[in-house]
Each structure stands twice: as structure tokens, then as C-alpha cells.
Amino acid sequence: MDHEIWPAIGERDVVRVFDAAAVLPLTPDDDVLLIRQFRPAVRKDVVEIPAGLLDEPGETPDGCAARELFEETGFRPTSVTKLCEIHPSPGSLTERVHLFLAETDAAATREPERGIQVVRTPFPQAVAEARAGRIEDAKTALALLLADARRDRG
């Protein structure tokens, strides 16, 4: 964490972290592959899309998204498309999250990463959960809503 002084604003704490990539995976059956894992910061299990830090030298955001999808779920992407980039907490973090939509193979080719449970949910049901405010993870809710909006535009 850095302590910065800004003219006319004052002193601020800024947390400098790696950027991240997150991916909303859709199977050929139109199911979303969410993951459930324990998150120590909030002290509970959270259901979210696969995501990880851009901490590998030379790795691109889409490459990170594809890697995290496979590591966390065991599913391989057949395509990866950019949805957007967001700053989840611009008041204190430098982090930028690259959000992607991925189409996947029909089945996993390996087990999910240890400590992760894959939650396979029909896309319309997951979108309804996001619209109702029942998805707590912001990047997951946004990815679902953006992917749904793209479908509406055809």
C-alpha cells in the first residue's frame, strides 16, 4: 500500500495490485460454469466466475482468462471474447479486471482445482439471479448482465 498526497485532495492510501482477468464460461448446452470457493476476506464461500491475476510474465489478459478457466474448472475454452475492463474499487485499488465471455467444450477434461466446486447453472437462471441482486460478486453479476445484453442485441 502506498501513501500518496494529491494537491487539493489530500492524503490517500492506494493499494497497488496486479490486474486480473475473469471469464464467464458457457457450455454448448447454454450452461454457465460458476465456481464456489472459500474467500478469506469475506469469511465465506462465494459463487463467482473463474478469475486470476495477471502475474505471469508476458501473459495476455485473454490468455490468463483461458488459463484460469481450465485450471479452476477443468473445461477448455473454444473461444474467448472481451466483454469489458473494469476498476472494481477505484477509490483505493489500482486493479483493473478484464472481463471475458468464453465458449467451452461440452465436458471437462480434468478435475477442478483443489478447493473449488463447479456450479453448472442454466444461463437464463444465472442472469435472473444477477438481475435479482442475488449474485454477490460484482464481476460475476456484471459479466452475466453484459453477456445477456449482447444476446438481446443479436
Q: Give the pLDDT confidence score for residue 7 in this predicted structure.
A: 63
Quote the pTM value: 0.90
Q: Give the pLDDT confidence score for residue 63 in this predicted structure.
A: 97
Q: Per-residue confidence at 154, pLDDT binned at 50, 70, 90?
A: low
CB 116 within 8 A of CB 74: no
Q: Domains along the chain?
A: 2-153 (3.90.79.10)
Q: What is the DSSP string of 15-79?
A: B----EEEEEEE-TTSEEEEEEEEETTTTEEEEE--EEE--STT--HHHHHHHHHHHHHSPPEEE
Dump pLDDT digits (tens) for 44-84: 999 999 999 999 899 999 999 999 999 999 999 999 999 99
H or E segment to which residue 85 belongs = strand 77-86
